[in-house]
Amino acid sequence: MDNQKTEVSNPTVQDEDSLDKIHVSMNENVVDPENESIEGKPALQSHFLEVRSAVEAVDDVNMASETFRAYAISIFLCSIASVITNITSQREEPLFVEASVIQLVSFPVGKLWARWMPYKTVRLGKWSFKLNPGPFTVKEHALIVVMANVCYGSPYGADLIVVQIVKYGEARWRLI
Protein backbone atom coordinates (compact mmCIF):
# COMPACT_ATOMS: atom_id res chain seq x y z
CA MET A 1 0.00 0.00 0.00
CA ASP A 2 1.75 3.09 -1.24
CA ASN A 3 0.41 5.96 0.89
CA GLN A 4 -3.14 5.20 -0.09
CA LYS A 5 -5.89 6.18 2.30
CA THR A 6 -7.97 3.12 3.04
CA GLU A 7 -11.45 3.86 4.32
CA VAL A 8 -13.24 1.08 6.09
CA SER A 9 -17.00 1.30 5.72
CA ASN A 10 -17.99 -1.89 7.44
CA PRO A 11 -16.84 -3.29 10.75
CA THR A 12 -14.83 -6.13 9.17
CA VAL A 13 -11.10 -5.93 9.69
CA GLN A 14 -9.05 -5.53 6.48
CA ASP A 15 -5.56 -5.58 7.96
CA GLU A 16 -3.86 -5.35 11.33
CA ASP A 17 -3.13 -1.61 11.05
CA SER A 18 -6.80 -0.73 10.64
CA LEU A 19 -7.98 -2.17 13.95
CA ASP A 20 -8.17 1.28 15.52
CA LYS A 21 -9.58 2.93 12.42
CA ILE A 22 -12.90 1.17 12.00
CA HIS A 23 -15.52 3.65 10.90
CA VAL A 24 -19.19 2.84 11.05
CA SER A 25 -21.43 5.26 9.24
CA MET A 26 -24.56 6.37 11.06
CA ASN A 27 -27.61 7.95 9.59
CA GLU A 28 -28.02 11.32 11.31
CA ASN A 29 -31.73 11.59 10.48
CA VAL A 30 -33.12 8.51 12.15
CA VAL A 31 -36.89 8.55 11.75
CA ASP A 32 -39.35 5.95 12.87
CA PRO A 33 -42.31 6.09 10.43
CA GLU A 34 -44.72 4.82 13.10
CA ASN A 35 -44.02 7.75 15.43
CA GLU A 36 -44.14 10.72 13.11
CA SER A 37 -45.92 13.79 14.38
CA ILE A 38 -49.26 15.01 13.03
CA GLU A 39 -47.79 18.07 11.29
CA GLY A 40 -45.66 15.88 9.07
CA LYS A 41 -42.41 16.78 10.80
CA PRO A 42 -40.55 13.75 12.10
CA ALA A 43 -40.57 13.28 15.85
CA LEU A 44 -37.27 13.55 17.71
CA GLN A 45 -35.64 10.16 17.80
CA SER A 46 -32.61 8.92 19.65
CA HIS A 47 -29.66 7.54 17.74
CA PHE A 48 -29.54 4.55 20.06
CA LEU A 49 -31.77 1.57 19.39
CA GLU A 50 -32.14 0.72 23.08
CA VAL A 51 -33.47 4.19 23.87
CA ARG A 52 -35.86 4.18 20.89
CA SER A 53 -37.29 0.83 21.96
CA ALA A 54 -37.87 1.89 25.57
CA VAL A 55 -38.92 5.55 25.29
CA GLU A 56 -41.84 6.95 23.36
CA ALA A 57 -40.99 9.66 20.86
CA VAL A 58 -44.12 11.70 21.55
CA ASP A 59 -45.80 12.64 24.80
CA ASP A 60 -49.28 11.36 25.57
CA VAL A 61 -50.89 14.40 27.20
CA ASN A 62 -53.92 12.38 28.30
CA MET A 63 -51.84 10.03 30.47
CA ALA A 64 -52.29 10.65 34.20
CA SER A 65 -49.15 11.79 35.98
CA GLU A 66 -49.82 13.77 39.16
CA THR A 67 -52.32 11.58 40.90
CA PHE A 68 -53.15 10.90 44.52
CA ARG A 69 -51.86 7.37 43.97
CA ALA A 70 -48.40 8.59 42.88
CA TYR A 71 -48.09 10.97 45.82
CA ALA A 72 -49.38 8.43 48.35
CA ILE A 73 -47.06 5.65 47.17
CA SER A 74 -44.02 7.93 47.03
CA ILE A 75 -44.64 9.52 50.44
CA PHE A 76 -45.23 6.11 52.03
CA LEU A 77 -42.18 4.42 50.50
CA CYS A 78 -39.90 7.43 51.02
CA SER A 79 -40.97 7.68 54.66
CA ILE A 80 -40.17 4.02 55.28
CA ALA A 81 -36.83 4.34 53.48
CA SER A 82 -35.89 7.48 55.41
CA VAL A 83 -36.76 5.92 58.77
CA ILE A 84 -34.74 2.78 58.02
CA THR A 85 -31.78 4.80 56.73
CA ASN A 86 -31.74 7.20 59.70
CA ILE A 87 -32.19 4.52 62.35
CA THR A 88 -29.42 2.32 61.01
CA SER A 89 -27.03 5.10 59.90
CA GLN A 90 -25.13 5.12 63.22
CA ARG A 91 -24.50 1.38 63.23
CA GLU A 92 -21.22 -0.16 62.23
CA GLU A 93 -22.89 -1.75 59.19
CA PRO A 94 -25.61 0.76 58.18
CA LEU A 95 -28.54 -0.23 56.02
CA PHE A 96 -29.13 2.37 53.31
CA VAL A 97 -32.32 2.13 51.29
CA GLU A 98 -31.42 3.61 47.91
CA ALA A 99 -33.73 5.20 45.37
CA SER A 100 -33.39 2.19 43.07
CA VAL A 101 -35.01 0.01 45.74
CA ILE A 102 -37.97 2.39 45.91
CA GLN A 103 -38.11 2.34 42.11
CA LEU A 104 -38.29 -1.46 42.05
CA VAL A 105 -40.83 -1.70 44.87
CA SER A 106 -43.11 1.11 43.65
CA PHE A 107 -44.01 -0.50 40.33
CA PRO A 108 -45.75 -3.60 41.76
CA VAL A 109 -47.31 -1.47 44.49
CA GLY A 110 -48.76 0.85 41.83
CA LYS A 111 -50.05 -2.09 39.79
CA LEU A 112 -51.69 -3.60 42.88
CA TRP A 113 -53.21 -0.22 43.76
CA ALA A 114 -54.66 0.06 40.26
CA ARG A 115 -56.11 -3.43 40.52
CA TRP A 116 -57.56 -3.44 44.03
CA MET A 117 -58.49 0.13 44.98
CA PRO A 118 -62.07 1.19 44.21
CA TYR A 119 -62.90 3.75 41.53
CA LYS A 120 -64.11 6.34 44.02
CA THR A 121 -63.88 10.11 44.04
CA VAL A 122 -63.02 11.68 47.39
CA ARG A 123 -64.20 15.26 47.96
CA LEU A 124 -62.47 17.64 50.37
CA GLY A 125 -64.31 20.94 50.22
CA LYS A 126 -63.86 22.39 46.76
CA TRP A 127 -61.11 19.89 45.89
CA SER A 128 -61.58 16.31 44.84
CA PHE A 129 -59.38 13.44 43.72
CA LYS A 130 -59.83 9.88 42.51
CA LEU A 131 -58.52 7.00 44.57
CA ASN A 132 -58.01 4.95 41.41
CA PRO A 133 -57.63 7.03 38.25
CA GLY A 134 -57.11 3.97 36.04
CA PRO A 135 -54.09 1.91 35.06
CA PHE A 136 -50.73 2.69 36.65
CA THR A 137 -48.81 4.82 34.15
CA VAL A 138 -45.17 5.38 33.30
CA LYS A 139 -45.48 9.04 34.28
CA GLU A 140 -46.68 8.15 37.77
CA HIS A 141 -43.78 5.75 38.14
CA ALA A 142 -41.35 8.44 36.97
CA LEU A 143 -42.79 10.90 39.51
CA ILE A 144 -42.31 8.34 42.29
CA VAL A 145 -38.70 7.78 41.19
CA VAL A 146 -38.01 11.54 41.18
CA MET A 147 -39.41 11.85 44.70
CA ALA A 148 -37.36 8.83 45.81
CA ASN A 149 -34.17 10.46 44.53
CA VAL A 150 -35.01 13.61 46.46
CA CYS A 151 -35.55 11.79 49.76
CA TYR A 152 -32.52 9.49 49.38
CA GLY A 153 -29.82 9.86 52.02
CA SER A 154 -29.78 11.03 55.58
CA PRO A 155 -29.99 14.70 56.56
CA TYR A 156 -26.78 16.24 57.83
CA GLY A 157 -28.65 17.92 60.69
CA ALA A 158 -29.42 14.55 62.27
CA ASP A 159 -25.72 13.66 62.27
CA LEU A 160 -24.87 16.98 63.92
CA ILE A 161 -27.34 16.33 66.73
CA VAL A 162 -25.90 12.84 67.30
CA VAL A 163 -22.35 14.23 67.46
CA GLN A 164 -23.46 16.91 69.91
CA ILE A 165 -25.08 14.30 72.18
CA VAL A 166 -22.18 11.84 72.00
CA LYS A 167 -19.33 14.35 72.34
CA TYR A 168 -20.80 16.88 74.75
CA GLY A 169 -23.22 14.68 76.65
CA GLU A 170 -26.36 16.62 75.95
CA ALA A 171 -28.09 18.58 73.26
CA ARG A 172 -29.20 22.12 73.96
CA TRP A 173 -31.28 23.89 71.40
CA ARG A 174 -32.09 27.57 71.66
CA LEU A 175 -34.66 29.28 69.55
CA ILE A 176 -33.42 32.89 69.45
User: Same structural domain for residues 156 and 82?
Assistant: yes
pLDDT at 171: 60
The domain tally of the chain equals 2
Per-residue pLDDT of the chain (176 residues; tens, 9 = 90+): 455 554 444 444 455 554 454 444 454 555 555 555 445 555 677 778 888 787 777 788 888 889 999 999 999 999 999 888 888 877 888 888 888 999 999 999 999 999 999 999 999 999 999 999 999 999 999 999 999 998 877 677 777 777 777 777 766 665 44
Q: Can you give the pTM of this predicted structure?
A: 0.64
pLDDT at 34: 54
- Report if residue 5 sits inside a domain: no
User: Same structural domain for residues 151 and 75?
Assistant: yes
Domain housing 99: 68-168
User: Same structural domain for residues 38 and 97?
Assistant: no
User: Same structural domain for residues 49 and 135?
Assistant: no
User: Same structural domain for residues 83 and 27?
Assistant: no
User: Same structural domain for residues 37 and 120?
Assistant: no
CB atoms within 10 A of CB 135: 12
- Dump the DSSP string for the chain: --S------SSS--SGGGGGG------SS---GGG--TTSSPPP--SSHHHHHHS-SS--TTS--S-HHHHHHHHHHHHHHHHHHHHHTTSSS-----HHHHHHHHHHHHHHHHHHS---EEEETTEEEES--SS--HHHHHHHHHHHHHH-S--HHHHHHHHHHHHHSS------
- Report if residue 4 sits inside a domain: no
In sequence order, the β-bridge partners of residue 124 are: 127
pLDDT at 25: 46
User: Same structural domain for residues 104 and 154?
Assistant: yes
User: Same structural domain for residues 43 and 73?
Assistant: no
